[in-house]
Every structure is written in structure tokens, then in C-alpha cells.
Amino acid sequence: MRWTVRGLRLVGAVTAGAVTALLGVVFVLAAAPFADRPAVRAAAARMTGLELRRLRLDLPGRDADGELRYLAARVPVGLLGGLVVLLLVIGASVAVRLLWSWSRGEALDGMLPTPPLLAYAFLSGVVLLFLNLSGLVGVDVLERRLAVRLLVPDPTEALRRRIAELTESRAGVVAVVDAERRRIERDLHDGVQQRLVALSMLAGRARRGRPELLEQLHEQARQALVELREVAWRVYPSGLDAHGLAEALAGVAERAAVTVRVTCELPVRPPVPVETAAYFVASEAVTNAAKHSRATLVAIEVRQEGTMVVVRVRDDGIGGADATGGGLTGLARRVAALDGRFTVTSPPGGPTVVEAELPCA
């Protein structure tokens, strides 16, 4: 049964490849003069994506410059597959006609089912079926190799790109750490330090015979502790290690100035760097929504999709977020350092959606 399903799936894939080869001829001829236009490149990317889905191939980071060339190169292979399928259909129809006629005791093309003729027909049919199935498998293998050859970057070029990406991400991480250090210093200097100075002055005045200031002194001390705790959470949330991402995000929701709804569905805890990046993406997005977007509701969703942890933060604010701003750029660099993807969608009028995909494998 399993082999039958695989065989039917193979015939279907090769047949579909023949049809898309015909469409590919039309597309390549029409698009070749305008190959550099973004719309043509986008259409080539979509058609290439459909071909890879038909072949059940996953080629992350494929070479976008080679997609139109691939579509052109696979046309003869696709048409060859169509020819093989056509021969299979013709052979099957001849076999059915023979069986139908001989089962009724009738001659086909003047031939009656004598033992030598039956043996000849059986052996010929088995050999032709074997050759035909080999042709189907060969076309499928050829299509896969062609896709890998033309869409996967050259190993040397891929290595060069990887080195460039690592160099850029290393510089990004250094910039993020430096920005975080400056922000912490600013928070300590302008917030906690000023609060402690005021607290010291109040204590001095209370000691000089102003007991009515004790209540104000207590309130100042409480505010200093709150600000100190917030600075510590911005450095690294202690609850993340102890209770996991869901509890840490629940803490973000409790401290937020807007209503925050958290959905965290992870079957297992991700690695610590992934968990930390996911936390900071959600926390920073909520802070931005509360400060700049005039949002009333923020929804945080954290899910496992394949080998990726996807963090999606959506608010109902006015939109218009600048993806090149300091905070979002820092998040993009933090995600890029883990080989993840970071996108911000924020049209005027909203909503704003911040999404990070973090690889776990």
C-alpha cells in the first residue's frame, strides 16, 4: 500500500511538472526582457516556491538571482517527464485492450492468446513497465538535482556570505550591548541615583526634628526600590531562569501601562539564548506600544512552528513605527545574532505587528 501511494504521488508530481513546464515556457519568454524588474523577480520567486513544494524540497537561503534561470532550465526536464507519463498511459491502455479482448475470446489485431504470445506480451510488458517507472524516478531525481544545482548558492559564495553575515551580526551584538550599557547607566543616573539623593535629604531633614517627613521618606524609599527592581529586570529578568518564558511574560503584562494578553504555547523550554531573545522582543514591543502607539490592547503570542520559536506582538495602536529606530534596530540585531528573522509591519493607522522567528535547531 505504501509503495502504491508513493508511486501515485510520483506520477502526480511528474505530471504536474509537465504542466508547469508548459506554463514556464510562456512565463520565461514573456519575463526574460524584464528580468530585473521587482515584479518579475517576485513572480519568479512564487513560481519557484511552487516547484519546490511540488518536489518537496526545502532550500532555505536559496539564490534569488538564479530563480528565472532555474525556471528556464527545468522546462526540457518537465516536458521529458510529460513524455514518460504519456508512454505509461499508452502502455497501460494497450495492456487493458489486450486483456479485455482476450478475456472475451476475441483477437486483437488478428492475434489470439496463444501461450507463446502470452509469454511474449507478459515479458515485454514487464520490461517496458520497469523502464517507464525508471524514467519517472529519473525525471524526479533530475529535477531535484537541477533545483539544488541552480538555486543553492555555490559553497564558496555561501561561505563568503556566511562570513559577512557573522561579521555584521558580531558588530550588531557589540552595538546592542553598548546601547544596553548606556541605557542602564542613564536609568541609574537619572532615576535611581536621583531618588536616593532625595531620600538622603529627606532622612537628614527628618533627623533634624521633622517627624512628619517620615511618611514621605517611606514613600521615597518604596519608589527607589521599584525603580531599582525595574532596572534589574531590564538587565535580565530573574524570573526567566526560575519560572520560564510564560511567567516572565506574565510579569511584563502585569507591569505594562496597557492591557496585555499573553499566549505562550511551547511544548518544551527553548535554549536560554532563544528564550532570552524572545523575552526582550516581547518586552520591548510592549514598551514601545505603551509609549508611542496609543494602543489599548497588546497581544503577545509565542508558539513553536517546526524548528522555530515564533514571537508575534500585535497592538491596536496608530501604527507608523519606525523599524530603523534604536529600540527596534537593537532587537533586529539581537535576533540576527541567533540567525533568526525579525520583521516589523506598522502601516499608518495601525495595527503594528512585531515578529521574530528564532531557530532552535
pLDDT, tens digit (0-9, with 9 covering 90-100), for 52-76? 888 888 877 777 778 888 899 999 9
Identify the CA nearest to 71 among candidates 85, 97, 51, 86. Answer: 51
| Measured distance CA(295)–CA(283) in Å, rounded | 15
> What pLDDT shows up at residue 86?
93
- The x, y and z cell numbers of residue 192, run together, are 535611581
Q: Among positive and negative, which fits the CA dihedral 173, 175, 181, 183? A: negative
> What pLDDT shows up at residue 357?
92
Distances (CA, A) of 270 to 100, 242, 262, 278, 330: 62, 14, 17, 10, 21
Residue type, 118: L
pLDDT, tens digit (0-9, with 9 covering 90-100), for 96-123? 988 888 888 787 777 777 888 888 888 9
Residue burial 246-262, b: 16+ Cβ < 10 Å; e: rest = eebbbbbbebbebebeb
Residue type, 2: R
Beta strands at 297-305 and 341-345: parallel, antiparallel or unpaired: unpaired
Query: Which run of H or of E encompasses 187?
Result: helix 155-187
- The x, y and z cell numbers of residue 32, run together, are 526574460
- The x, y and z cell numbers of residue 224, run together, are 527607589
The residue written with cell numbers 509565542 in the block is 302
> What pLDDT shows up at residue 153?
76
- 303's CB contacts (< 8 A; 6+ apart) are 263, 265, 266, 309, 310, 312
Rounded to 10 deg, the angle between the 67-103 and 38-54 helix axes is: 40
| Measured distance CA(113)–CA(102) in Å, rounded | 6
> What pLDDT shows up at residue 361?
67
- 247's CB contacts (< 8 A; 6+ apart) are 239
Identify the CA nearest to 315 among candidates 261, 262, 352, 278. Answer: 352
| Measured distance CA(29)–CA(26) in Å, rounded | 5
Q: Tens-digit pLDDT profile for the chain (361 aa)?
A: 777 888 888 888 999 999 999 998 898 888 888 878 888 888 888 899 889 888 888 877 777 778 888 899 999 999 999 999 999 999 999 889 888 888 887 877 777 778 888 888 889 889 998 999 899 999 999 999 999 888 887 778 778 877 887 777 777 777 777 777 787 788 788 877 888 888 888 888 887 777 777 888 888 888 888 888 777 777 777 778 778 899 889 888 888 889 999 999 988 888 888 898 899 899 889 988 888 888 899 999 999 988 899 999 999 988 888 877 767 887 888 888 888 889 999 888 889 999 999 988 6
pLDDT, tens digit (0-9, with 9 covering 90-100), for 138-180? 999 999 999 988 888 777 877 887 788 777 777 777 777 777 7
| Measured distance CA(239)–CA(254) in Å, rounded | 13
1 Cα distance to chain centroid: 34
φ/ψ of residue 59, rounded to 5: -120, 80
- The x, y and z cell numbers of residue 147, run together, are 533545483
| Measured distance CA(338)–CA(169) in Å, rounded | 9
